[in-house]
Amino acid sequence: MDNPSQLVQYILTGLSNGAIYALIGFGFAIIHNATGILNFAQGEFVMLGGMFTIFILSFLNIPLPMAIVLAIAFSTLVGILFERLAIRPLKNVKPLSLVIITIGASIFIRGAAMLIWGKDTHALPAFSGNEPLYVYGATIMPQHLWIFGITILIIIANKLFFSYSILGKAMRACAYNAYAASLVGIDVKIMVLLSFVVSAAIGSMAGIIIAPLTMTSYDVGIMLGIKGFCAVIIGGMSSGLGTVLGGLLLGLLESLGAGYISASYKDAFAFIILLLILFIRPEGLFKQKETQRV
Amino acid sequence: MLKVESITQIFGGLTALENVSFSVAPHSITGVIGPNGAGKTTLFNIVTGLYTQTEGKVYLGDKNISFFEPEVLARLGLVRTFQNVELFGQMSVLENVMVGLHTKSKSGIFSCAFKLPGQIKEEKRIKEKAYQWLEFTGLADSADVTACNLPFGKGRLLEISRAMAVEPQIILMDEPAAGLNSRETAGLAGLIRKIQELGVTIVLVEHDMELVMDVCESIIVLNLGKKLAHGTPREIQENKAVIAAYLGED
Amino acid sequence: MMIKEKRQIFIFLLFALVVLLVPIFLKGSYFLNVLVFIGINTLLAVALNLLLGYAGQISLGQAAFFGLGAYISGILTTRFPVDPWLALVVAAGCASVLAFVIGFPILKLKGHYLAMATLGFGIIVYIIFNETVDWTGGPSGLSGIPNLRLGPFVFDNDRNNYYLVWMMTLGVMLLSINLSQSRIGRALRAINDSEVAARVMGVNARMMKVQIFTVSAFVSAIAGSLYAHTITFISPASFGFNFSVELLTMVIIGGLGSIYGSFLGATILTMLPEFLRVFRDFDIVIYGLMLILITMFMPAGLIGGIEMSIKIIAEKIKGSAENNA
């Protein structure tokens, strides 16, 4: 069935997945820029967002929006605990130790999720029904619109926060030079904690809006995490437009590759793209090459 | 010996070095001085292959070494020490110097794993050689100490021993006296002369003016990325532009 | 220094002797079977330790080389009339060539980037194991892999397999210990401590990293081939990301850079799920917790901790002896 409407369908799926990857990528960039750490556990926040929402809904009889707010709050709490218990106590550690600790945290969170919620796959109800809309013969689920809408909102909020709010500016200052920032009275520790908070919140939001479309389970974090990482690498480790484009590009390539080449190698496409980017342009596609100071 | 030709280095719009040229005579001791931010360490990083310059060339003898990697430069006889002392902290003092003998040995991964006779002999030879270099700098007593447990002053000496083990033609020292007390600095001056006696050319970046004026035969002054002056210690001390730069900065 | 070397040889001989004598005292074949897996996991942990503990380069794709060893061996001996020994050599050779080729671009990366890239590589290989059904049998696995044999002697029971695997493991352990105290071992540890300084001393860091990555893949693939020929059935599930993390945990628990530590880590992580049934559900939670806690509080691993306590006890004994005298 090779026809234009199918192409539109692939593009649509690609864009909505890509939006999610971009949001996950933001999470990576925010923590990385504040601390120099690449948080391997970023994907787990995404998993937690979806899983918390599902289980809050099943235990408490509350409306979806409230469940979402609670789920984001819980995921953020996990982010805070992670930072307080495993990152802050460290002093003068080798970069390798940080890599191992974040990997440890990632599989710990995943394992805990498995113990608490089991190995089953769960579905979150779509935010506004499953009545599809038709555009050029392709079906759009209302959830796609939610994904696009919320992603755009987060991108704008993120931009406003880092460009105009005092807190956002302080975080950026820490990213440039933590020591200088501390000299002008910015509490660097708080900023680091805050970066985990923001990044856990954005990550869990991404997990919540995608859950109705793709289902979720304790182990979705790793794949989503790596794809978000791929997006942020393409975007040159920024929480800006580069990463959004990176995410959309990855989503599109993946979806078209799965549609026209081979569906069973869908995930492999993403990883091949990741390796190619890391090998050829690790500084990102949208960033000018700079000489690094040793 | 070492010739630097019109080096320019730009970091994302910021010019760290601008059209710097000079040459260093064989077997001489040359000092590179200048206020903070003058580009001294950047210059060292370019010469030793850690940075790639935006423009310009570097020659070692007749050889154009402009884009050589540090490991290749070591084989050609160009080594350096670091401002912040880059030791192999988890290894013993002796082992640190033995790494300096890396280019003077050639056992491969296979003969090392199987302890082939050639490797055992070579290992014995480099161990003895490493001891000799420790004796040269006066660190032989600390041979078995783990490097990260060394006091700072001895760490500097270890770095020099390790660099000397490469048997360089030329050694670049980045602030060798920083963090040393006056007794240690005096010892360092003696060591630098001893190294010169072995026929090694020495270039040092240094803030300790007393040391620089004492040991250096020739001094290059950098200011704001440009070469301000090049001459004997006496000429530099009397140079108006240099005095202005230092007083103006301080 | 000579005393240190002699002590090292003594410790190794003692260790080897214990390993060789164990089957005489063990009656049940079940325990021998577990010990065979400890041997294979020790091989894999040592292989990762060469890369991670010596050179300081992380890899989350070790399971891929293990799997390549197993699948190349398995495919060659089930689909073609290839002798299992030849298959083992070919498998190890192919994995090394692949590691050498991808090593150049991949080891340019550092820290988290290296972790992500090796993880990506591991998952791509895992997907290939699952999807090339015609060759690998896909998710349902590949069965009927022949045992290794030496003349009339077939490695088809636990006792024979034990000796087969452990001779290989002891050999690799000895070679790795030798390597650590050599020119190459020092260069690798120098890269681990300060790559810039190592390069200034003339160490070709990039080539050195690629070499040790290749050796690591070579040993992992041998382990994979031994695994395939001893249990005669393989499926992709054994070679996924979780197993790479398990190997990482073994190395960290035992102690970075310690060969006996890798043995200890492999032993603990192989035994726990065998003897503690509850552990099976908790495994990844516990691995995660161990990775965090050991890295935070015991960076030298269990072997480091043991060595430290021996030193303290020895000093106490010495101290009280002096007091008495």
pLDDT value at residue A292: 38
Confidence of residue B227 (pLDDT cuts 50, 70, 90): very high
pLDDT value at residue A5: 81
For chain B, the chains sharing at least 3 beta-carbon pairs closer than 8 angstroms are A, C
Residues of A in contact with B48 (CB under 8 A): none
Q: For residue B147, give the nearest of B99, B78, B191 by alpha carbon.
A: B99
Contacts of C178 (CB under 8 A, 6+ apart): B112, B113, B114, B115
Measure in Å the smallest separation between the Cα of B39 and chain A Cα atoms.
12
Is the ipTM value over 0.85, yes or no? yes
Annotate B84-152 with DSSP letters as a single string: T----TTSBHHHHHHHHTGGG----HHHHHTT-HHHHHHHHHHHHHHHHHHHHHT-GGGTTSBGGGS-H
The full set of domains in chain B, from first to last, is 2-249 (3.40.50.300)
Measured between CA atoms, the residue of chain C closest to residue A219 is C242
Answer yes or no: are the C-beta atoms of B90 and C189 closer than 8 Å: yes
Q: Residue B30: helix, strand or coil by DSSP? A: strand
* Sign (positive or negative) of CA dihedral C126, C130, C133, C138: positive
pLDDT value at residue A236: 86
User: Does residue C303 sit within a domain?
Assistant: no
In the chain, the amino acid numbered A18 is G
Total length of chain C? 325
Measure in Å the smallest separation between the Cα of B170 and chain A Cα atoms.
23
- How big is the B-C interface in CB pairs under 8 Å? 102
Looking at chain A, the whole-number percentage of residues with pLDDT higher than 70 is: 96
Measure in Å the smallest separation between the Cα of B188 and chain A Cα atoms.
27
pLDDT value at residue A287: 59
How far apart CA C123 and CA A288 sit, in angstroms, is 30
When divided into structural domains, chain C yields a total of 1
Does A107 contact C287 at a Cβ distance shorter than 8 Å?
A: yes
A294 touching B (Cβ < 8 Å): yes
Mean of pLDDT values over A181-186: 85
Measure in Å the smallest separation between the Cα of B246 and chain C Cα atoms.
32
Q: Domain range spanning residue C25?
A: 18-289
Residues of A in contact with C108 (CB under 8 A): 279, 282
Measure in Å the smallest separation between the Cα of B198 and chain C Cα atoms.
19
- How big is the A-C interface in CB pairs under 8 Å? 128
Q: For residue C120, give the nearest of C214, C252, C241, C237 by alpha carbon.
A: C241
Rounded to the nearest angstrom, the gap between the alpha carbon of residue A184 and the centroid of all alpha carbons in its chain is 32
Q: Over the stretch A243-276, which tens digit does the pLDDT of each residue have?
A: 999 999 999 999 999 988 888 888 888 899 999 9
Does B45 contact A291 at a Cβ distance shorter than 8 Å?
A: no
User: Does residue C118 sit within a domain?
Assistant: yes
Does A294 contact B45 at a Cβ distance shorter than 8 Å?
A: yes
For chain C, the chains sharing at least 3 beta-carbon pairs closer than 8 angstroms are A, B
Q: Residue A45: helix, strand or coil by DSSP? A: helix
User: Does residue C12 sit within a domain?
Assistant: no
Cα angle: B69, vertex B78, C190; to 5 degrees: 65
DSSP state, residue C147: P
DSSP state, residue C140: G
How far apart CA B27 and CA A282 sit, in angstroms, is 43
Residues of A in contact with C113 (CB under 8 A): 38, 278, 282
- What phi and psi values does residue A282 have, to the nearest 5 degrees? -65, -15
How far apart CA B250 and CA B238 sit, in angstroms, is 18
Answer yes or no: are the C-beta atoms of B162 and B74 closer than 8 Å: no
Of C56, C112, C292, the CB nearest to A105: C292
CATH no. for residue C281? 1.10.3470
How far apart CA A138 and CA A21 sit, in angstroms, is 22
pLDDT value at residue A146: 93
Does A294 contact B11 at a Cβ distance shorter than 8 Å?
A: no
Answer yes or no: are the C-beta atoms of B227 and B21 closer than 8 Å: yes
Does A291 contact B51 at a Cβ distance shorter than 8 Å?
A: yes
DSSP state, residue A60: S
Q: Which of A176, A292, A293 to mutate to test the interface with B (most CBs of B within 10 A)?
A: A293
Q: Residue A88: helix, strand or coil by DSSP? A: coil
Query: How buried is residue A184: exposed, middle or buried, by Cβ count under 10 Å (0-12/13-18/19+)?
Result: exposed
Confidence of residue A240 (pLDDT cuts 50, 70, 90): confident
pLDDT value at residue B47: 95
B11 touching A (Cβ < 8 Å): yes
Answer yes or no: are the C-beta atoms of B28 and B201 closer than 8 Å: yes
User: Does residue C149 sit within a domain?
Assistant: yes
pLDDT value at residue B250: 45
Residues of B in contact with A290 (CB under 8 A): 11-12
User: Does residue C80 sit within a domain?
Assistant: yes
Of B50, B80, B102, the CB nearest to C187: B102
- Which residues in chain C land under pLDDT 50? none
Residue B90 has pLDDT above 50, yes or no: yes
H or E element: which one contains B230? strand B226-231
Two tokens at A27?
């999470």
Q: Which of B11, B54, B90 to mutate to test the interface with A (most CBs of A within 10 A)?
A: B11
Mean of pLDDT values over B41-60: 93
How far apart CA B93 and CA C5 sit, in angstroms, is 18
Contacts of A151 (CB under 8 A, 6+ apart): A19, A20, A22, A23, A209
pLDDT value at residue A183: 86
Residue A291 has pLDDT above 60, yes or no: no
B108 touching C (Cβ < 8 Å): yes
Of B12, B50, B51, the CB nearest to A290: B12
Does C121 contact A90 at a Cβ distance shorter than 8 Å?
A: no
Q: For residue B51, give the nearest of B20, B7, B93, B91 by alpha carbon.
A: B7
Residues of A in contact with B44 (CB under 8 A): none
User: Does residue C114 sit within a domain?
Assistant: yes
Measure in Å the smallest separation between the Cα of C51 and chain B Cα atoms.
13
Mean pLDDT of chain A: 89
Q: What are the residue ranges of helices labelled H in C80-157?
A: 84-106, 111-131, 133-136
How far apart CA A79 and CA A94 sit, in angstroms, is 22
Measure in Å the smallest separation between the Cα of C148 and chain A Cα atoms.
34
Residues of chain A contacting C, Cβ within 8 Å: 37-38, 40, 86, 89-90, 94-112, 114-115, 222, 226, 229, 262, 264-265, 267-268, 271-272, 274-275, 278-279, 282, 294
How far apart CA A249 and CA A190 sit, in angstroms, is 34
Mean of pLDDT values over B88-100: 96
Mean of pLDDT values over B181-188: 93
Measure in Å the smallest separation between the Cα of A97 and chain C Cα atoms.
6
Q: Over the stretch C1-42, which tens digit does the pLDDT of each residue have?
A: 567 788 889 999 999 999 999 998 887 778 899 999 999 999
